[in-house]
Amino acid sequence: MQLKVYQDDAINDLLEKAKKLLNMADGKKLVFKAPTGSGKTIMMAEFIKQLVDDKGVKQPLSFIWAAPKKLHIQSKEKLDDYYEKSRSLECSYFEDLSDKKINENEILFFNWSSVNKKGTNTIVKENEQEFYLSKVLERTREEGRKIILIIDEVHYSAGQMDKTEKSAALQLRKEIEPCLTIEVSATPILAGDYEVSVQTEEVKKEAMIKKSLVLNPNFFNVFKDGKIKTELGEKKLEKDSEEMVINEALNKRKELIKSYQKEGVEVNPLVLIQLPDRKAQREDELKDKVIKILKDKFNISTEKGNNKLAIWLSGEHINKADVEKNSSEVEVLLFKQAIALGWDCPRAQVMALFREWHSPVFSIQTVGRIMRMPEPDRGKYYNEEILNYAYIYTNINDIVIDKDVAPGYVSFLTSKRQADYKDINLLSYYSKRHREKTRLSPRFIEIFLVQAKMDSLKSKIDKTAKKVDIKIISDYKANDIDTLAGSKIVGDKSITVSDSDLQKLFDYFVRNSLRHFYPEDRSVNRVKESIYKFFEKDLKMDYSEKWEEIVRIVLGEDNIQHFVNVLDKAQIEYKNETEIREGELTKLENWNVPEILSFGSDYTEDDKKRVIMKPFYVNYLSGLEKSFADLLDKSGKVEWWFKNGDRDATFFAVPYDGNKTPFYVDFIVKFKDGRVGLFDPHSTHLADFGSKSDGLQRYIKDENKKGKELLGGIVANTDERNYNGRWVYFAEKSAEFKKGEFKNWKDVEF
């Protein structure tokens, strides 16, 4: 699996802080906070692997992974898959433990409520066989191993404890007494000695989650006193409002299907209908009503030959198998929140909630089910902008967005591009995230294979090599193999390396071969992948079946230098290529004003006539911006104008700063004579004035040579305090700019 940039960074941070805490007194705590959809489980899996492989961690480790409800089962299955090839860690349930203890590099998975049920739970209840948790922990410690406790989805415990009880997290720590506790959640509940956080914006940059969640699009929503009031929740719509909510959700699903078809992507978007958790007559009546509406009005049911409805309720599972798959025929899933804890279904994109729901508070656990993108490995958002958002329809009023949801992530103000818009097809630019120069990406594998072919590596190596002979000093001892790291071994004697030492020697060889990069674990693994791929492709040897033979060939006395040579040349080529790509911007050939934009509580509506997006929501960053917008809206020469944003490929940008940085120009203006204006109200005293101005003018000049009709520049007002002076824009080279003078500026004549 290729980890995302933010995942790599978080794992590095976790590793560094965990190692520090392990060197302190026992009982320390590390908090890992990451938003839903960011891949917390995968990050933890890789972190644990790197921790046990780290040569700086001297003490042997055992692990306990505790989670609420049945989430520990899901987590174990994910980690089993992750470690399938490397076998670096063993994942076990309590009954799977051998010798009634947790072995080194073994992870014990269980439900954390177990520790609170001493009288009945088989894991904690004492028995004659002495096979219960406290005894297992005792045996594990007797063998000199430290125990690390991982508490997954720790926030769930907050609502599950009695007033007199401590939180489940504290109870677990007390019972297990780990050397280190790691809390994992989107919303941790306790402070730690160290914290590692992944920000929502970082996850969005990698297109792992939706850009935002849009609440009741097509309906009028207002934000007042910290609450959202929506037209769908008004009393005048109370009659059959459940049917209206369902109708809107299913109509959005139809729109999404058309856009997925345009993208050529096989995703069948899923509508989630969430019922209240309470068990009462009203909730049962609501369930029956929803099922009847779906069948009678929309031909969606659980019946054979239809199978478009799935039900996931306590004691009632219908059509649930494979519902998570993008190609599943299920169109609607009826469920409850408690059942869905930790459930992943990336194709879920629309959610319907009703007034009878238990709370008007939207927490991350509510909206998290529809945050994920259906193709997380894609690495970028879709061209069809509608697909990059999730949608919530509800007749609940006075909605509150919980603080655990990233500010602005739930958008309830929706603006649409006007129907008479005609494409302007501008060349735009945006930053493409590259790996750090110190790390090897999957591209290194391709470079290594090309270099191996250029060096005729296949024909040079001796494929019959079976022994690895090492010249050693006379007092060398076999059990001191760890001292080989970074050492030059010389001498007259030789030994035959045992199978148990072969892995360490191979690791040392790979680490020492990384002359041009720091030998951190990700780069080490990338080199191993390259070597394995060479044997698989050129010599038809699968490392999962012939790993030992492959390693002995690589480390063979007559072969090792050939591999060193290829690895060295491949690293130099990779380094050169990375440095060239690091400063590149990505082009978007035909940028147009987005069809739809959504905004949160930090935006307000401004009544403007000539804007292309309506309603017009804005958060002016300066009085200069606002005054220029007023000027545009009054002009009889302007057909329409667009207030640009400043992120990714959604918004328009030109290159500046040596073509390394995107400049998101504030206003795109379409004139009635066909010209397009690019204007940016920008204070003349800012340090980036010259570079941005030159970048914009260069772009306008280059595009006009291709037949475009563009004009524009940095905009100012000669009255820099009250903006009552002359409006001007700068279209010269920055070398011609003189601060405080506007003689060579052009008048804004619209």
Q: What is the pLDDT of residue 179?
A: 94
Together in a domain, 80 and 183 = yes
Q: C-alpha angle 28/30/32, rounded to 5°?
A: 165
| pTM of the entire predicted model | 0.70
| Total of domains in the chain | 4
Q: Extract the tokens encoding 136.
A: 């297992």
Residues in the chain predicted with pLDDT less than 50, given as ranges, are: 157-166, 435-436, 471-493
Together in a domain, 192 and 236 = no
Please report, for the chain, how many H helices and E strands are present, in that order.
Answer: 17, 36
Closest CA to 245 of 332, 321, 311, 160: 332
Under a CB-based contact definition with an 8 Å cutoff, are residues 424 and 670 in contact?
yes
Together in a domain, 643 and 738 = yes
Q: CB within 8 A of 291, min separation 6: which ones?
A: 301, 309, 334
Please give, one letter per residue, the 3-state secondary structure of 618-675.
Answer: ECCCCHHHHHHHHHHHHCCCEEEEEECCCCCCCCCCEEECCCCEEECCCEEEEECCCC
Closest CA to 53 of 91, 10, 6, 15: 15
For 107-131, the DSSP string reads EEEEEGGGGG-TTT-TTTS--TT--
Cα distance between the two ends of the chain: 55
Under a CB-based contact definition with an 8 Å cutoff, are residues 59 and 52 in contact?
no
For 185-204, the DSSP string reads ESS--S--SEEEE--HHHHH
For 447-492, the DSSP string reads HHHHHHHHTTHHHHS-TT----EEEE-TT--GGGGGGGTTPPP--S
- Could you give the C-alpha distances from 91 to 74, 78, 87, 153, in angstroms and in order? 12, 10, 10, 19
Residue 310 lies in a domain: yes
- Could you give the C-alpha distances from 254 to 225, 323, 534, 545, in angstroms and in order? 35, 18, 47, 48
Together in a domain, 558 and 616 = no
> β-strand 221-224 against 227-230: which pairing, if any?
antiparallel
Together in a domain, 664 and 722 = yes
Together in a domain, 287 and 223 = yes
Q: Identify the domain boundary among 153, 168, 203.
A: 203
Together in a domain, 262 and 350 = yes
Q: What is the pLDDT of residue 490?
A: 43
Closest CA to 436 of 574, 256, 231: 574
Q: Identify the domain boundary among 582, 603, 622.
A: 582
Under a CB-based contact definition with an 8 Å cutoff, are residues 391 and 252 in contact?
yes
Helix (H) or strand (E) holding 350: strand 348-353
- Could you give the C-alpha distances from 364 to 153, 241, 313, 414, in angstroms and in order? 12, 25, 21, 21
Q: Extract the tokens encoding 659.
A: 């073509």
> β-strand 667-671 against 676-681: which pairing, if any?
antiparallel
Together in a domain, 296 and 400 = yes
Residue 296 lies in a domain: yes
Judged on CB neighbours under 10 Å (0-12, 13-18, 19+), 274 is buried
For 29-41, the DSSP string reads EEEEE--TTS-HH
Q: What CATH code is carried by the domain that includes residue 399?
A: 3.40.50
Q: Range of 233's domain? A: 207-411
Together in a domain, 159 and 121 = yes
> 541: helix, coil or strand?
coil
Together in a domain, 379 and 509 = no
Together in a domain, 486 and 348 = no
Identify the DSSP state of 388. Answer: G
Q: Identify the domain boundary among 582, 612, 646.
A: 582
Report d(CA 218, CA 413) in Å as an integer. 9
Q: What is the pLDDT of residue 164?
A: 36
Residue 421 lies in a domain: no
Report d(CA 30, CA 191) in Å as an integer. 9
Under a CB-based contact definition with an 8 Å cutoff, are residues 97 and 136 in contact?
yes
Residue 436 lies in a domain: no
Q: What CATH code is carried by the domain that includes residue 28?
A: 3.40.50.300
Under a CB-based contact definition with an 8 Å cutoff, are residues 371 and 36 in contact?
yes
Report d(CA 513, CA 570) in Å as an integer. 11
Q: What is the pLDDT of residue 492?
A: 45
Buried b (16+ CB within 10 A) or exposed e, 604-628: eebebebbbbeebbbeeeeebbebb
Report d(CA 204, CA 406) in Å as an integer. 12
Residue 394 lies in a domain: yes
Q: C-alpha angle 338/341/346, rounded to 5°?
A: 130
Report d(CA 63, CA 103) in Å as an integer. 9
> 378: helix, coil or strand?
helix
pLDDT tens track for 481-508 = 444 444 444 444 455 566 557 777 888 8
Together in a domain, 721 and 683 = yes
